[in-house]
Amino acid sequence: MGIEIIGIGSYVPEKILTNAELEKMVDTSDEWITTRTGIKERRIAKDTESTSDLAVNASKKAIKKANITPDEIDAIIVGTITPDMSFPSTACFVQKGIGAKNATAFDISAACSGFIYGVSIAREFLRSGIFKTILVIGAETLSKITDWEDRNTCVLFGDGAGAVILRKTDSQSDILSTYLGTDGTLGDLLYMPGGGSRNPASQKTIKERLHYVRMEGNKLFKIAVKKMTTAAQKAIEIAGIKCEDIKLIIPHQANIRIVEGVANQLKLPSEKVFLNIQKYGNTSAATTPIALDEAISQGKLKKGDIVVLVAFGGGLTWGATVIRL
């Protein structure tokens, strides 16, 4: 018995924010953003659009492709750091939104690695036989926790959602391996200090702009290359495959230079590395499922191909998975 992606879907908000528009908001330039990050534009959710709205749209597409009914879904796992509310979980809102009345639903907070953490948990549920069909989502509205006056961070992030439906089947498809890691001692390199139990919302936290992402990009950059490379290598080793067997690697889309660094370390040619950062920026947990959906719909991946997903983010967290489609 293997595990098959029987449906995949993604959704990004309509509104596009270009580098030229950002030039009018903060002291930056298209040239700086493009050469330092590879990003040209990103999508921004409406004021009325929450993370679960994006997740529901992506999930409906995945359900349609899977040709199943929502009541066949046994569990919903949402990776997000921009939940609709502290509680209920965003996964509960998704359950309501798609009408998956038989599903257990919960969120995972692992920043940009959230989708891969979700796939890893789903894999074990499916292998144990507890569940047969699981919806795993990476969804974010980072625009809502971005400080639009901070040029160090506001040029990087965007909104979006990607969803896969995993099912235990007797096909050759399988999640061959997953590998996860965390280093909580470096949590202060990327975090949002306000709004939780440490700094509950108050006039002071708002005045001090604590409800926005804070990041030490330069330090993170080097760790990201190292950890994403190691995670991919470990997942490849556990899967028992060689780098030559990989059709495509889908790295977390945080920065084109991080992706190039990882590809160099893994000695993977650029045609084996999927990139869409230019269109969406860093959508945290949503980058890898959105990219996987696009790679499949562009014909870059087909049944039987081996794809590696690898991510790194706040926590710090990292993870990789090797999937035979």
With CA atoms as reference, report the closest residue to 5 among 99, 134, 102: 134
191 binds ligand ACO (CB under 6 A): no
218 binds ligand ACO (CB under 6 A): yes
- Residue 264's CB is within 10 A of a number of other CB atoms, namely 12
Question: Is 252 noted as a catalytic residue in this protein?
Answer: yes
Q: Beta strand pairing status for 190-191 and 214-215?
A: antiparallel
User: x/- string (CB under 6 A) for ligand ACO, residues 198-217?
Assistant: -------------------x
Amino acid identity for residue 13 in this structure? P
Question: Is 152 noted as a catalytic residue in this protein?
Answer: no
155 binds ligand ACO (CB under 6 A): yes
Residue 109 neighbours by CB under 8 Å, 6+ apart = 80, 81
Residue bearing tokens 């409906």: 60
Contact 169, 9 (CB under 8 A): no
Alpha-carbon torsion 12, 16, 20, 26, what sign?
Answer: negative
Which strand (E) or helix (H) includes residue 311?
Answer: strand 306-313
Which of 220, 249, 259, 295 binds ligand ACO (CB under 6 A)? It is 220
Which of 253, 255, 287, 321 binds ligand ACO (CB under 6 A)? It is 255
Which of 159, 313, 323, 325 binds ligand ACO (CB under 6 A)? It is 313
Residue bearing tokens 């809502």: 144
Q: Output phi, psi for 324, to 5 deg.
A: -100, 115
- Least Å from the CB of residue 118 to ligand ACO: 15
Task: Determine the Cα–Cα distance for residues 204 and 193; give it in Å rounded to an integer.
Answer: 12
- Least Å from the CB of residue 317 to ligand ACO: 8
Cα 169–chain centre separation = 25
152 binds ligand ACO (CB under 6 A): yes
- Least Å from the CB of residue 116 to ligand ACO: 12
Q: Which of 112, 154, 255, 276 is catalytic?
A: 112
Task: Determine the Cα–Cα distance for residues 30 and 46; give it in Å rounded to an integer.
Answer: 24
Which of 91, 190, 225, 310 binds ligand ACO (CB under 6 A)? It is 190
Q: Considering only residues 86 through 145, tell me which ones interact with ligand ACO, judged by CB under 6 A.
A: 111-112
Q: Considering only residues 26 through 85, tell me which ones interact with ligand ACO, judged by CB under 6 A.
A: 28, 32-33, 36-37
Contact 198, 82 (CB under 8 A): no
Q: Which of 19, 255, 276, 282 is catalytic?
A: 282
Closest CB to ligand ACO among 28 and 230?
A: 28
254 binds ligand ACO (CB under 6 A): yes
Closest CB to ligand ACO among 34 and 199?
A: 34
Closest CB to ligand ACO among 141 and 284?
A: 284
With CA atoms as reference, report the closest residue to 252 among 230, 283, 221: 283
Contact 33, 152 (CB under 8 A): no
Question: Is 92 noted as a catalytic residue in this protein?
Answer: no
By CB under 6 A, the count of residues binding ligand ACO is: 24
**Which residues are at the interface with ligand ACO (CB under 6 A)?**
28, 32-33, 36-37, 111-112, 151-152, 155, 190, 217-218, 220-221, 224, 254-255, 258, 282, 284, 312-314
- So which residues are the catalytic ones? 112, 252, 282
